[in-house]
Amino acid sequence: MSDVFKLSIVVPCYNEEDVLHETTKELTAIVKGLIDEKKISETSKIVFVDDGSKDKTWQLIDEFSKNHNVVTGVKLSRNFGHQGALLAGVTSASQDSDAVITIDADLQDDVNAIPKMVDEYLNGAEVVYGVRNNRDTDTAFKRSTAEMFYKFMGFLGVKLVPDSADYRLMSQRACQVLLSYRERNLFLRGIVPLVGFKSAKVYYARKERFAGESKYPLRKMIKFAIDGVTSFSIVPIKLIMGLGFFIVFFSFVLLIYSFIRKINGDVIPGWSSLMISIWALGGVQLISISVIGEYVGKIFSEVKQRPRFTIERDIYTEKTQEENKR
Ligand code: UDP
Ligand code: MG
């Protein structure tokens, strides 16, 4: 056995036919470079995960896997979302890879950070976070909302590594721990820091998407953020209680106030105060119920224990078994 380790690079892809050529080119160059340097084993692989794409993504992956030794793919039976696709890839790859890197397909994450991550791994880090050192390519809106999100999560006591997305390296052991977190509402960014072990950071500049458009429209981003908060913290429920006490107290003050005015012979014209309080309280109640509903919904989806992804075809495992036979 050589002492070089097997690396797998997991790449979730959803309708990425426009970028796959270029991504494959850049990633294979990096992997081959590392193999030549004898830093990683020749059996190292790229694992494209087709997350139920509607375009030619899978055909391309299948074709590339025939032409390149290092390219493999996993096809999911339908679209499970970015986090599910990542998990599927990590599940397959971590069976026999010593370390797994996850990276987006669109080349926004600089592939040149991969060798740096490998070096950190060789220095003993089991989790290496890719951290962007600029957000120039994001819109001002995305930048400010992202910053607010990280601040809010910090306020709720959830530890995140700011400006790190799903670009990271994990040792096999760290992957196994990650996979033992059984929740359905996946928020990997929050779970990975919980895994523990020695960690390191690698800084890189985040670029524009190479081609195609973002698969994360505002709607998905908001859902993702809500998932992040409610999967990790029950502080929102506690806030409702505080709010409830405050409102009860405030209405008590109002009561005393109107009582005093009544004693002084003032007639309180009731329309505005009534309408305002009815509407305000109605709103508060609706918000509160929706927060609770969010958690009830979480319980509902967690207790069902539905599969987090379903693999239709796994070229990674096919290839690995083939190689082991030889
Ligand atoms: N993606 C996926 N399933 C989805 C949506 C996205 O596998 O349902 C992949 C997508 O192909 C890309 C990565 O997740 O590789 C990040 O998506 P995108 O680049 O669209 O998000 P953004 O960078 O705009 O946040
Ligand atoms: Mg992107």
Residue spans of the domains in the chain: they are 7-214+307-325, 235-304
Residue 176, strand partner residues: none
56, 61, 104, 186, best to mutate for ligand 1 pocket (most atoms within 8 Å of CB): 104
| CA 326 to each of CA 65, 240, 249, 319: distance values in angstroms, whole numbers, following the listed order | 18, 62, 76, 11
Q: What's the gap in Å between 109 CA and the centre of ligand 2? A: 8
Q: What is the pLDDT along the chain (326 residues), one digit of tens a residue?
A: 457 899 999 999 999 999 999 999 999 999 999 999 888 998 999 999 999 999 999 999 999 999 988 999 999 999 998 999 999 999 999 999 999 999 999 888 889 999 999 999 999 999 999 998 876 777 788 788 888 888 888 888 778 887 778 899 999 999 999 999 988 877 888 889 888 899 999 998 877 777 777 777 778 788 878 877 777 776 777 677 677 778 777 777 877 877 787 788 776 677 657 766 777 677 778 778 877 877 887 788 788 888 889 999 999 989 888 888 87
Choose which CATH entry (2.70.98.60, 3.30.750.24, 3.90.550.10, 3.90.1150.10) describes domain 7-214+307-325: 3.90.550.10
Q: What's the gap in Å between 16 CA and the centre of ligand 1? A: 9
Tell me the C-alpha distance between 212 and 16, whole Å.
Answer: 7
ipTM for the predicted complex comes to 0.93
List CB contacts of 314: < 8 A, sequence separation 6 or more: 74, 75, 92
Instruction: Give residue ranges with CB within 6 A of ligand 1.
Output: 12-14, 16, 51, 79, 81-82, 85, 104-106, 108, 209, 214-216
Q: What is the total residue count of the chain? A: 326
- The torsion angle over the Cα atoms of residues 9, 13, 19 and 22, rounded to 10 degrees, is 20
Tell me the C-alpha distance between 261 and 99, whole Å.
Answer: 73
* H or E element in which residue 141 lies: helix 140-155
* H or E element in which residue 290 lies: helix 270-303
The conformation of residue 270, written as its DSSP 8-state character, comes to H
